[in-house]
Homo-oligomer: A and B are copies of this chain.
Amino acid sequence: MSATKPLAIIAGVGTGTGSSVAHRFAKSYTVALLARSQSTLDGVLGSIKAQGGEGIGISTNVTDPESIGNAFQKITQAYPSSSVAVAIFNVSGRTVKPFLQLSLEDWKSANDVTTGAYLFSHHSLPLLLKHAADEPSDYCPSLIFTGATASVKANANSAAFATPKWAARALSQSLAKEFAPQGVHVAHAIIDGPIDIPRSRDHPGLKNVPLEDRISPEAIADTYWWLHTQPKTCFTWEIDIRNAKEKW
C-alpha cells in the first residue's frame, strides 16, 4: 500500500453522509473507515476503489474500547508510514420516544455515543498532533464532528437524541480550544434538516420532504473538506448547514 498519502479516518460510515465524506476525502487521502457493518464498509470501499481511491474498512463498535482500540491498531499496521491528516466522527443515533417510555437500555445505548466520541478523539488526537508536529503540509490536521439540530435544541420526546448530541458539541468545543494552539483544527457541523440519504427517504417523519428540499450529502462532504483546508489564521469551530427551503 502507498505510504505517501496521509490518512483520513472516518467513523460512522453508512450509506449516507459517511459514505459521501469517505468518497470526498478519498480523492486526496487514503481512507480508514469504521462502522459496524462490514458489508456496508465493503460496498463503500468498492465504490471508492473503482474511482481510484484507496483504503480499508474495519468493522468496529466505536463505543467499545477494545473494538476501537483494535481498529486503530489495524490502521497503524496497514499504513505504518502514513500520518493521519483527518479524523471525522459521524456516528449518530436518533432515539425519539416519550421520556417515560425510554428504558435504561435505550438511554445507555443512545448516550454510549458520547463514550464513542471520547474514544475516537482519544485515539485520533495523538496521531493528528504528530501530523501537526512532524509534517508541515498544506492543510492542518482536522477533527470534525457531525452534529444535528438536536445538538442545539432539545425537543419534547427527544431527551435521548439530544443529550449525546449536546455532549459531543461540548466535547468538540473543548477540544477546539485545547488543540488549536497545537495546530489541530477541531470543528463541529450542525446539519439542520433531512439529508438526502436512503435512511431518511424511508423515515416516517421525513419521507414526505421533497428531494430538492433535502441537504445534499455530497455538499456536506465538500463542506468538511473545505473546513479541513482552512489555514491556522482562520479556523472555524462551528457552521450550520441546511437546505435553502428549510424552515427554521
Contact = CB atoms under 8 A, between A and B. Distances in A.
A235 B244 contact: yes
A182 to B, nearest CB: 8
Contact of A234 (B165, B178, B230, B241): B241
In which size bucket is the chain A interface? 35 or more
Interface string A33-77: 000000000000000000000000000000001000000000000
Interface string A203-224: 0000000001011100110110
A67 to B, nearest CB: 13
**Interface of chain A, helix or strand or loop or mixed?**
helix
A158 interface: yes
Given A214-B233, A215-B233, A178 B165 contact: no
Contacts of A98: 178
A115 to B, nearest CB: 7
Nearest to A196: B233
Interface string A89-116: 0000000001110101001100100110
Contacts of A216: 231, 233-234
A170 B177 contact: no
A152 B32 CA distance: 34
Contacts of A180: 242, 244-246
A236 B241 contact: yes
Contacts of A140: 244
Contacts of A238: 238-240
B239 A235 contact: no
Nearest to A164: B167
A15 interface: no
Interface string A126-146: 100000000000001000000
Interface of A: 65, 98-100, 102, 104, 107-108, 111, 114-115, 118-119, 121-122, 125-126, 140, 153-159, 162-171, 173-175, 177-181, 183, 185, 196, 212, 214-216, 219-220, 222-223, 226, 230-248
